[in-house]
Structure 1
Amino acid sequence: MITSNGYVLDESPARLGRLEPVPTDVRDDKDAMWGRLRRDGYLYLSDHLDAEVVRDFRAYYFGKLAPTGLVAPEGASDGIDSSGDVDLALTRRVLFDDVVPGDAYAALTSHPSIRGWFQWFLGDDVHLHKRRIIRHTRPGETGIGTATQAHYDLVYLREGTDRVLSMWIPLGDCTVENGGLAYLEGSHHRVMAEERAGTLKMPAASITADLPGLADEYDSRWLINDYRAGDVMVHSAHIVHASTDNVDPERRIRLSTDIRYQRVSDPIDWRWQEHWHLDDGL
C-alpha cells in the first residue's frame, strides 16, 4: 500500500506507473533530451552522480545532526532513525546556520556533474538559485504536510523566468516506501495550456494533499520509482509532483535536496537569492 500524507494511492494501471529513465544512448543528444523534457516534463537521469559523493554528503549531514537525537548511534552515517525525541531548536540551528550555508552543501549542489550538465543542456552560462532546499523525513511521520503535497514549482517562482529547471537529488537510496518523488503524468501540458488561456486557478502554494483525487481529476497516473544514490530528476516548472510517505521498515530517514538552475540571461526571481530558511516567507 502506497500512501502520501495518509491518502492511499490507487495502484491500478490507469492511476499508477513507473518513471522512464533516459536511455544511455540518448543522453548525449541534446535535441532528443529536450524533446523528452517537452513531452514528459521530466528527465530521469539514473547514475548521473558518483554514488560515493552522494553517500559521503549523506554521512556528513547526519553526522552534523547527530547531537539533536535524530539518528540512532549505531546507524548515524546512514541516517537510521533513532525513534526518539529530537531537539527541534538545535536541529534548526544546525540546519540553517551550518549545513545550508556550508561549503559541503555548496560543493554538492554546484558539482561539475550538475553545473556542467546544466551549462551543456541550457547552452549558456547558468545561475544556481541560492535558495536550495534540503529535507529529511522520518519513517512513520504522519499527517497533512508530512510528505510533500502536490504542486508545481512555478507557483513559487513567479518573479523570474518560467524556463527555470529544478533538479531533485535523493541523497542516498530512496525507494517508494522511503518517500520518493512522484510525478503526475502529462500534468505540465494541462498547466501550460491553462496558463496560456488565462484559466489556471493558481494555488497559493500546494494544490492538494489528496494525490488519488488529483489523479482522478486529471485522469492521469502518478509515476514513481525506486531511486538509487547517484540518480537525479530534472523537471520543468510546470509539472505537478509530490512525494510518498516514509514507511521504510529499516527505519531509514529520507533525505533529499531540490535545487534550481537557469540561464543567466533569463529573468531571475530575486526572492530566491538568499539561503533557504523556514521563515523566509517562500
Structure 2
Amino acid sequence: MVGVIADNLAVNDGPLTSENAAFLRPSEPNLPIEELRKRYEKDGYLFLKQVLPRADVLEARNQYFSSLQSTGVLKPDTAPVEGIFDPTKSHLEYPGIGAGHVDGNGRPGGDKAARFVDLALDAHYKEWYAEKLCNHPALFEFIAKFSGWGKNTLSLRRRLLRNNIPGSKPIGVHYDQIFLRYGDPTSVTAWVPLGDIKLNGGGLIYLEDGDSIGIEMEQAFFTKAKQAGLSDEEARSAFNSNMMATGLLSETPAQFALEHGRKWLVSAFEAGDVVLHNPHMIHASTINNDPDNVIRLATDLRFCDSSKPYDKRWMNHYTFNDGV
C-alpha cells in the first residue's frame, strides 16, 4: 500500500494511512474449522465473509430505518433500507447509543433528540432484531461449532444496536472484557454490520496484535490492585476505575497505536459479514465519512459457554444506566 488507504479514512485524532493502518485478513466460513480456530487464536479476531444471508441482514436494516423515518433522519425520497442521512440536518440531533458515547452509559442527547433516541432504544426489543437477527441460526450454529461449546452455547441478551451518523463521534479504544467484568474472559463477540460499509464509512477497526496488549493491561492493573490490599472481588472491579468515565482506554486511536508500535487493521464490510473477536482484543471505530451520507448501522452480539462463569448482568436487555 502506498499513501492513504482511502480518502477521508480517519479516527478522532487524525487520518489512517499506510503508515499507521493495514487491512484485516478475511476468512471464508467454509474453511476447515481448525484453520479458522488457528487464525482466531493468532490474530485475536476472525473476519468472516457472508456468514449470514444478505437478504436477512438487509431486512433488519430496512425494519430499523423504517421505524426511525418519522424523526426526519433520512434524506427525503430515499428508501429506508438505504439509510441515507438527510445532509440538511445536524448529526447532533441523532446521537448514537452504547459504550463510549455517554458517561455511565446514560441517555444521550437532549430534548430535541428524545424521540429519535427512544425509537433507537425500542428497536432493541423488536422481534425482527431481538429474535430473528440476534438468534439467527446461521450465526448461532457457526458459533456453537467454532467454539466447541455445542449445546452449552449461550447468546447473551444484552446487545447493542448502534447507528453512526456521518460526521458523528466514533467509538473509542477499548476491549470487551472491561464491560464483562463479572465473568471469565472466554466470551466471543460477533460484530455484525447491518448493511454495506465503505472503507471510510465508520466500520470497526482492530489493533494489530491488540489482544496481547489487552491481556498485559489487565494483568498489570489487577496486580497493582492486589498489591494495594484489595480483595479478589475488589481487584476484579478496580480495573474500571483506571479507565475513562466511559470505560474506554483512549479517545485518541492514532496516538494509542503509535504508543504501542502497532497499526490499526481496517476493511470495508458487506451485509452478511461478521467479525468475531476475543474479550481482550482492542478495537475502536473510524469516523463515518461516507461520501454518500450512508448511516453506518451495526450490532454487537456476544456468546459464551453457559457451563462456565459468565457475567449474568448481560442476560438483561440493554437499557440506559444499567450499570454495565
TM-score, normalised on structure 2? Answer: 0.80
Aligned residues of 1:184 and 1:220 also touching (Cα < 8 A): yes
- Residue number in structure 2 paired with 1:233: 275
3-state SS of 2:125 partner? coil
- Residue number in structure 2 paired with 1:176: 199
3-state SS of 1:17 partner? strand
CA distance in 2, matches of 1:28, 1:173: 23
Aligned residues of 1:174 and 1:180 also touching (Cα < 8 A): yes
- The letter of the residue matching 2:315 is Q
Aligned CA-pair RMSD? 1.8
Aligned residues of 1:171 and 1:229 also touching (Cα < 8 A): yes
Shift of 1:199: 5.4
Partner residue of 1:211 out of 253, 259, 268: 253
Unmatched runs of 5 consecutive residues or more in structure 1: none
- Residue number in structure 1 paired with 2:172: 149
Partner residue of 2:17 out of 8, 11, 17: 11
- Residue number in structure 2 paired with 1:279: 321
Identity of aligned residues (%): 32
- Residue number in structure 2 paired with 1:65: 68
Kindly provide the CA deviation profile for residues 81-124 of structure 1, in whole angstroms up to 9, marking residues without a partner as x. Answer: 12326552112322333x11111002101101111111111222
- Residue number in structure 2 paired with 1:164: 187
CA distance in 1, matches of 2:53, 2:218: 38
CA distance in 2, matches of 1:271, 1:164: 14
Alignment of 1:269 with 2:311, yes or no, is yes
CA distance in 2, matches of 1:41, 1:123: 17
CA distance in 2, matches of 1:93, 1:280: 16
CA distance in 1, matches of 2:303, 2:278: 11
Shift of 1:232: 0.7
- Residue number in structure 2 paired with 1:130: 157
Deviates more, 1:85-94 or 1:233-242: 85-94
- The letter of the residue matching 2:11 is S
Shift of 1:2: 2.0
- The letter of the residue matching 2:319 is H
CA distance in 2, matches of 1:67, 1:59: 14
Shift of 1:279: 2.4
Shift of 1:181: 0.6
Shift of 1:10: 4.4
Q: Which runs of 4+ in 1 moved over 3 A?
A: 193-202
3-state SS of 1:74 partner? coil
CA distance in 2, matches of 1:3, 1:226: 14
CA distance in 2, matches of 1:91, 1:266: 38
- The letter of the residue matching 1:229 is A
3-state SS of 2:27 partner? coil
3-state SS of 1:227 partner? coil
TM-score, normalised on structure 1? Answer: 0.91
Shift of 1:236: 0.4
Shift of 1:22: 1.4
- Residue number in structure 2 paired with 1:245: 287
Shift of 1:271: 1.4
Alignment of 1:94 with 2:100, yes or no, is no
CA distance in 2, matches of 1:194, 1:100: 32
Kindly provide the CA deviation profile for residues 141-180 of structure 1, in whole angstroms up to 9, marking residues without a partner as x. Answer: 2xxxx10001000000010120000000111001121101
Number of residue pairs matched by the alignment: 273
Unmatched runs of 5 consecutive residues or more in structure 2: 1-7, 94-111, 225-238
Kindly provide the CA deviation profile for residues 8-56 of structure 1, in whole angstroms up to 9, marking residues without a partner as x. Answer: 134134x2100001146xx442222221111100000011111111111
Aligned residues of 1:176 and 1:244 also touching (Cα < 8 A): no
Higher Cα radius of gyration: 2
CA distance in 2, matches of 1:199, 1:177: 39
CA distance in 1, matches of 2:167, 2:68: 19
Aligned residues of 2:11 and 2:254 also touching (Cα < 8 A): no
CA distance in 1, matches of 2:54, 2:36: 23
Alignment of 1:77 with 2:81, yes or no, is yes
CA 1:129/1:192 → structure 2, altered by over 3 Å: closer, same or farther? same
3-state SS of 2:51 partner? coil
